[in-house]
Amino acid sequence: MKDKKKIRILIAKPGLDGHDRGAKVVSLALRDAGMEVLYSGLHQSVDQIIAAAVQEAVDVIGLSIMTGAHLPICVRLMKDLEEKNLSDIFVVIGGVIPKNDIPKLEEIGVKGIFPGGTRFEFIIDSIRALF
Amino acid sequence: MGVAKYIKNKADAIEKVIYQSGIEVKPFYGPKDLEATGFDYEVDLGDPGQYPFTRSLHPQGYRSRAWTTRQYTGFGTPQETNERFKYMIAHGQNGLNVAFDLPTQMGYDSDSPKAEGEVGRVGMAVDSLQDFEIAFKDIQFDRIGSGLTINAVASIMLAMYQATAEKYGYSKETISATPQNDILKEMIGRGAWIFPVEPSVRLVCDTIEYSVKELPRCNPVSICGYHIRESGATPSQEVGFAFEIAKSYIDNLLDRGLAPDDFVGRFSFNLNVYGNLWEQIAKFRAARKLWAKLLKEEYSVTEKKNLFLRGLFGGGGSGLTKEQPENNIIRGAYYGLAAALSGAQTTALCSFDEAFTIPTPRAALLSLRTLEILMEEVGLRDTVDPLAGSYFVETITKEMEDKIKNEMTRVQKMGGMVHAISSGYIQREVARQAYEFEKSLQNGEIIKVGVNKYTEGEQPDVEVHEYNDSWVGAQISSLKTLRRTRNNQEVNRSLKALEKTSKSRNNVMPTLVDCCRAYATVGEMAGVFRDVFGEWDEPCLF
């Protein structure tokens, strides 16, 4: 873990879905764990999320996706981060993520996968362990 | 245990029970408890069908008529949705509750880049009148009422429903639609908003005003405490915030010169059955009473029927779990019981597989059967409001009334619901409640069977509704054909007229109906609104 530097994380809601209970709850939990948390608000495009991540100089992007569109969104985000030389920003994801999709997400470089109901301490520890 | 907070001693006996709304429950209740609340039968209850309708809207309750069942249905293309509608009607469902996909809800056509990956996923894709013509083919518009679960562009969907019915030979006076049309709750929870707060409220109220004048059988708004509760609010907040939202719409309509008796009878509510059984029953009974009192005392509503809190009590989505999903069938039955004991007029249950995705036909049918068993086999139609007079239920119903009023006062102190949402206060409060709840679940203060107690380890897979990519191609290609074959001059003329009305203070509905008849697309109509109104800049505060 980096010395004394607080982990900065952008919790982002990509796409059209507006169910943000999970995103907000996890944001509050990460903040209580001492991280600096920014919340993107709803209906963000992948471009908007990357722009916000750069502007706010975050260490981690945490996506929250409930609609089942997590695979295409993650593929796009990972590709764009790589093209923009931003692969040092870690990506984690929460939401409605079926078990079958977890290996695919890991394969494209998503560093933490937290389906609904994952314990806060597991999310916090997993993110800390990235540094 | 349960949704409430339980404090136990070392011998595992319960010492304290505190409901989410803050009501502390005693080990037993007697006449003195009821007396202490100032309970008076005539004032607080009245007979069923009598003001303030705490017991029931109708004197005979379910004896005269069982509840209306309206399972939330819709997915893929209009063709698929039409088949599912007919399937549910053939199995005894007597109203429809239409689910739209997110691009439609957000005012984008299926071929918009914004729609990528979402077409037909969480509901039916609708681009134009052509899609409604397919979805509602062979549906008897004068006999089957349709809930249209859409908000930001509810005005467009109501216009389209009217245009479709007319196309099939039903006059607009005979159709019965309930667009959800509650944009303020979208801004608190669910999140399918587009335009800033003020034009959004204007569109809601344009729809209501138009219905009052032109669509005598339509209920143009369904105010949803439901989603506020799903987002984390307590039961008293659910009802208190819903009532404050309703007041924002009422005030806008009063400014237009309408009298409350002209329109409040068209309001309906969508409230959640999820939670502690007794707290829900108290909530629904208190809500019926408070709504009637509010309308009578604050708005001088006189017509008896206009004082009814009508609506759908159902759902229960946040009570369902991915773990041991069959348990959700049992949970659904108890949520249905709560709705029946509360005198729900209309109901629907989330299906047991909805913790994963939208339901399979089998799962949706099980929910319907659950409701049918409650009405046909269990005895819930025997007598009206069977819990009335219970020392416990009446005491907490009175206490719930105070809790709801407190939530309303807090919103009023902030200058009303529009201000409370614009400032982000409500959203922050609801998120805070959700966080507290999640912490209690994770530390075991709240028990969820199969999740943090009686767990079974590795879970078997359940059969779930599969999203089919081939729908997208079909939908987009039919949209492209439509754009080529429709009368584009007429489309442009009607969209210009819509732009003009949107910029004026006139009601947008008549021009929207014209746009729909010309086969203008949802994206084109919502695009006009986007240009004229702009989009909401959500306050992202914690």
As a whole number, the mean pLDDT across chain B is 94
Q: How far is C-alpha B5 from the geometric centre of its chain's CA atoms?
A: 27
Structure tokens given for B300 = 């001088």
Query: Which residue(s) pair with A14 in the sheet?
Result: A44
- Which residues of A fall within a CB distance of 8 Å from B224? none
Find the domain containing B81 and state its range. 5-442
Residue of B104, B108, B110, B122 to mutate for A, most A C-beta atoms under 10 A:
B122
- Which residues of A fall within a CB distance of 8 Å from B455? none
Q: Are the Cβ atoms of B542 and A96 closer than 8 angstroms?
A: no
- Which residues of B fall within a CB distance of 8 Å from A15? 102, 117-118
Please give the single-letter amino acid code of residue B77. Answer: T
Please give the single-letter amino acid code of residue A112. Answer: G
Min Cα distance B105 → chain A (Å) is: 9
Residue of B540, B541, B542 to mutate for A, most A C-beta atoms under 10 A:
B540
Q: Rounded to the nearest 10 degrees, how much is the dihedral formed by the CA atoms of B119, B122, B126, B132?
A: 140
B191 touches chain A (CB under 8 A): yes
How high is the pLDDT of residue B372? 95
Min Cα distance A114 → chain B (Å) is: 14
Angle at A66 between CA A65 and CA A70, to 5 degrees: 50
- How many contacts (CB atoms, under 8 Å) link A and B? 89
ipTM (interface pTM):
0.94
Q: Are the Cβ atoms of A21 and B232 closer than 8 angstroms?
A: yes
Name the nearest CA neighbour of B476 among B157, B77, B186: B77
Q: For the domain A8-128, what is the CATH superfamily, name and number?
A: Cobalamin-binding domain (3.40.50.280)
- Helix (H) / strand (E) containing B149: strand B145-149
Among A67, A99, A117, whose Cβ lies nearest the Cβ of B122? Answer: A67
Q: Are the Cβ atoms of B117 and A31 closer than 8 angstroms?
A: no
B114 touches chain A (CB under 8 A): yes
Chain B residue whose CA is closest to A23: B431
Kindly report, residue by residue over B106-147, the tens digit of the pLDDT: 999 999 999 988 898 888 999 999 999 999 999 999 999 998
Using CA atoms, how far apart are residues B70 and B371, in angstroms rounded to an integer? 10
Q: Are the Cβ atoms of B191 and A42 closer than 8 angstroms?
A: yes
Using CA atoms, how far apart are residues B110 and B441, in angstroms rounded to an integer? 39
> How many separate domains does chain B show?
1
Residues B159/B524, Cβ–Cβ less than 8 Å: no
Q: Are the Cβ atoms of B538 and A41 closer than 8 angstroms?
A: yes
How high is the pLDDT of residue B77? 82
Q: What would the mean pLDDT of A50-66 be, rounded to a whole number?
A: 96
- Which residues of B fall within a CB distance of 8 Å from A120? 438-439, 442
Question: At B31, which CATH number?
Answer: 3.20.20.240
- Which positions ≥6 away from A93 have C-beta within 8 Å? A62, A63, A64, A65, A70, A74, A105, A110, A112, A113, A114
Q: Are the Cβ atoms of A117 and B116 closer than 8 angstroms?
A: no
Residues B243/B291, Cβ–Cβ less than 8 Å: yes
- HEC string of B389-405? CCHHHHHHHHHHHHHHH
Task: Report helix, strand or coil for B73.
Answer: strand
Using CA atoms, how far apart are residues B376 and B378, in angstroms rounded to an integer? 6
Q: Are the Cβ atoms of A17 and B538 closer than 8 angstroms?
A: no
Predicted confidence band of residue A3 (pLDDT cuts 50, 70, 90):
low
Q: Are the Cβ atoms of B438 and A29 closer than 8 angstroms?
A: yes
CA distances from B115 to A11, A16, B149, B324, B465 (A): 22, 8, 18, 33, 20
- Which positions ≥6 away from B473 have C-beta within 8 Å? none
Find the helix packing angle between A21-32 and B425-442, rounded to 10°.
70
- Which residues of A fall within a CB distance of 8 Å from B106? 16, 43
Q: Are the Cβ atoms of A18 and B186 closer than 8 angstroms?
A: yes
How high is the pLDDT of residue B91? 85
Find the helix packing angle between B197-214 and B154-167, rounded to 10°.
30
Using CA atoms, how far apart are residues B436 and B227, in angstroms rounded to an integer? 18
Window 227-256 of B: residues touching A by CB (8 A cutoff) are 230-232
Residue of A9, A13, A16 to mutate for B, most B C-beta atoms under 10 A:
A16
B442 touches chain A (CB under 8 A): yes
Q: Is A68 left (phi over 0), alpha (psi -120 to 50) or beta?
A: left
- Which residues of B fall within a CB distance of 8 Å from A19? 189-191
- Which residues of B fall within a CB distance of 8 Å from A25? 232, 431, 434-435, 438
Min Cα distance B51 → chain A (Å) is: 38
Residue with tokens 């873990």: A1
Q: Are the Cβ atoms of B356 and A73 closer than 8 angstroms?
A: no
- Which positions ≥6 away from B126 have C-beta within 8 Å? B78, B100, B101, B104, B132, B135, B157, B160, B522
B434 touches chain A (CB under 8 A): yes
Using CA atoms, how far apart are residues B61 and B49, in angstroms rounded to an integer? 8
- HEC string of chain A? CCCCCCCEEEEECECCCCCCHHHHHHHHHHHHCCCEEEECCCCECHHHHHHHHHHCCCCEEEEEECCCCHHHHHHHHHHHHHHCCCCCCEEEEEECCCHHHHHHHHHCCCCEEEECCCCHHHHHHHHHCCC
B358 touches chain A (CB under 8 A): no
Task: Respond yes or no on whether the N-terminal peptide bond of residue B52 is cis (omega within 30° of 0).
Answer: yes
Angle at B459 between CA B358 and CA A97, to 5 degrees: 45
Chain A residue whose CA is closest to B355: A96
Q: Classify residue B471: in a domain, yes or no.
A: no
- The domain spans of chain A are 8-128
Q: Which residues of A touch B (CB under 8 A)?
A: 13, 15-21, 24-25, 27-29, 31, 37, 39-43, 45, 67-69, 72-73, 96, 98-99, 115-117, 119-120
- Which residues of B fall within a CB distance of 8 Å from A42? 191, 538
B356 touches chain A (CB under 8 A): yes
Task: Report helix, strand or coil for B155.
Answer: helix
Among B105, B116, B190, whose Cβ lies nearest the Cβ of A19? Answer: B190
Residue with tokens 């509704």: B465
Q: Classify residue B533: in a domain, yes or no.
A: no
Q: Are the Cβ atoms of B118 and A117 closer than 8 angstroms?
A: no
Query: Which residue(s) pair with B72 in the sheet?
Result: B97
Q: Which residues of chain B have pLDDT under 70?
A: 1-2, 74, 460-461, 542
Is the per-residue pLDDT at A102 higher than 90? yes
Q: Are the Cβ atoms of A24 and B434 closer than 8 angstroms?
A: yes
Q: What is the DSSP string of B356-401?
A: TSSPPHHHHHHHHHHHHHHHHTS-TTSSSSTTTT-HHHHHHHHHHH
